[in-house]
Amino acid sequence: MRKFSSYGPIVNTSEYYAPREELIEKAYINLVGENPAEGGHYFTVWAPRQTGKTWLMQQTLHRLKKDPRFHTLKINLEILKRKKKVGDIIKIIAGEIGEGLGKTFKSIDEENKFQGIFKKEVLDKPLILILDEFDAIAEEGINTIVSAFRNIYIRRRDEMDKTTEQKTYLLHGVALIGVRSVLGIENQKGSPFNVQRSVRVANLTFEEVEGMFKWYEKESGQAVEKQVIDALYDEMRGQPGLTCWFGELLTETYNPDPKKPISMFNFNEAYSAATHILPNNNIMNLISKVNKPPYDEIVIEFFKTGEKIEFNFDKPDVNYLYMNGVIDLEKADDGKYYLRFSCPFVQKRIFNYFSDRFFNYLGPLIHPFDAMEDAVDKENLYIPNIIKRYQAYLTKNQGVFFKDVPRRKDDLRIYEAIYHFNIFRYLYDLLKSREVEVVPHFPTGNGKIDLILEYKGKIYALELKSFKDMYAHEKGIEQAAEYGRQMGLQEVACIVFVEVTPAEAKQLEKVVDKNGVKVTVLPVGIL
């Protein structure tokens, strides 16, 4: 029976996969060309890691190898990631091409010589070349190789009166696979490869995710509840590597009784483990991208709960985070594109990372003689009295625990997300011994964060806000009520961080009813 796998390219004969026939067809047509006699295209295949780029081009390669009109080669360049000299890079790539064609290319160590191996005097028929992990090589090497491809492409276009076999160069089509679009965005000198198209490998659709699990049901005889598939897609947004990883967890590791349907109990078990104790190379790679300047402060800014941030691919920092799978974009009703985290699971893992990074030790949370009898009893939580303790803790420790945290460069104020990391860790550490589960929740994928407290079978929702002005404040209360309605709750707490003293902040404290939902507004002064 097949298995779910996220460890390298999918093996079609033994692992579950989405056929992605339209995407394979698009890559094939790009390489062969709409009119093969005129030549194919030179293009990039780009997407964040673990999205199936290599698998896609493997399927395309298998199809191309059946076409006798072309030589087709696929070469993995990851072995070149430690090579710095352009001559060495060119020599190794030329050698790999020669080996694939049954030829020996010697002393190919500069651009003109590299171009020469693609001439019709050297090749006996047109060549289609697929270079995987292309962006693993040094930038100067990228620039030299793509400059050669550009010159070849233009020369072939100059010879449009000839068939592809008659042209000076027989490099019919090129696909460069990588996490960057190889457009020179990180190259200060500009891109030498401005002739290529691109194929983006998008995430799996819901139908593709559902299709794999239906396939599993048919082979295994074990049902998978629809709610599980819905939750998996909502959390992973179809990210192939994470989706297949969870497929493995659900069908193997956290599947104790294959005779019973895979339920939300199994999903919650797997999700909790994946969030807290299980390593995953995809997530570890994402963390490595956001834990250093300038990207750490940029991502922290993304967590702000106020206005959405417009997405702009031309901004190098946004481009970097997008191409590495940290963020994505969404189109709003106003027609503009806004930034969002790539999926809620990634957002939660990054949130947990920063919470631990800045507040791995919080010191004494309450007075040692405080029994918290007015905050937690045998059946209920009393959120206002818990937040009262947090305000006292914040007032007492702000000068110590917030001394070295990131601040906005324009006004040197602490990023509002820092307070969200702090209150999460405070509540988590304060209440975990009392069997209260504190879970960050990201309902939109943007900066908006809520905290869900679960205790004795009851759910307490805390929506976090940052005060901007009274108009936005009142709108925020309405949003909190709507959020409570969506969760089927009769009451919700709205925690508002205000850049005033605690005494001044208290003016905002109130309890209001919004269409049947009780909203308790609890301000927290942060000056």
**What pLDDT, in 10s, does the model give residues 244-277?**
999 999 999 999 999 999 999 999 999 999 998 9
Are residues 138 and 255 part of one domain? no
Which of 496 and 449 is assigned the larger pLDDT? 496
3 state DSSP class of 259: coil
Burial zone of 37 (CB within 10 Å; 0-12 exposed, 13-18 middle, 19+ buried): exposed
Are residues 248 and 124 part of one domain? no
- Is 412 domain-assigned? yes
CA torsion angle for 459, 460, 465, 471 (degrees, to 10)? 100
Are residues 231 and 170 part of one domain? no
**pLDDT tens digits, one per residue of 327-354:** 888 888 888 888 888 999 999 999 999 9
Q: Give the pLDDT score at 453.
A: 95
Q: What does the pLDDT average to over 104-111?
A: 93
Are residues 163 and 79 part of one domain? yes
Q: Give the pLDDT score at 502.
A: 93
Q: Give the pLDDT score at 523.
A: 96
Are residues 220 and 154 part of one domain? no
First to last CA, the chain: 61
pLDDT at 305 over 50: yes
Which of 208 and 445 is assigned the larger pLDDT? 208
Domain boundary among 200, 220, 252: 200
- Is 297 domain-assigned? no
**pLDDT tens digits, one per residue of 185-227:** 444 444 445 555 778 888 999 999 999 999 999 999 999 999 9
> What is each CA distance from 295 to 290, 299, 355, 358, in whole angstroms?
5, 6, 16, 16
Q: Give the pLDDT score at 187.
A: 47
- Is 63 domain-assigned? yes
3 state DSSP class of 83: coil
Are residues 486 and 369 part of one domain? yes
Domain boundary among 238, 256, 278: 278
- Is 292 domain-assigned? no
Domain CATH for 46: 3.40.50.300
Helices (H), 342-443: 344-358, 383-401, 416-431
- Is 386 domain-assigned? yes
Which of 229 and 314 is assigned the larger pLDDT? 229
Q: Give the pLDDT score at 444.
A: 58
Q: Give the pLDDT score at 318.
A: 85
Are residues 76 and 56 part of one domain? yes
Q: Give the pLDDT score at 162.
A: 93
Structural domain of 394: 347-525
Q: Give the pLDDT score at 190.
A: 46
Are residues 488 and 466 part of one domain? yes
Domain boundary among 278, 311, 336: 278
Q: What does the pLDDT average to over 407-411?
A: 78
**pLDDT tens digits, one per residue of 39-89:** 999 988 888 878 899 999 999 999 999 999 999 999 999 999 899 999 999
Are residues 374 and 226 part of one domain? no
pLDDT band at 446 (very low <50, low <70, confident <90, very high): low
- Is 285 domain-assigned? no
Q: Choose the weakest-confidence range: 11-20, 135-144, 244-253, 300-309.
A: 300-309
Are residues 193 and 72 part of one domain? yes
Which of 238 and 185 is assigned the larger pLDDT? 238
- Is 234 domain-assigned? yes
Are residues 259 and 138 part of one domain? no
Q: Give the pLDDT score at 445.
A: 55
- Is 7 domain-assigned? no
Are residues 170 and 99 part of one domain? yes
pLDDT at 100 over 70: yes
pLDDT at 304 over 80: no
User: How many domains does one find in the chain?
Assistant: 3
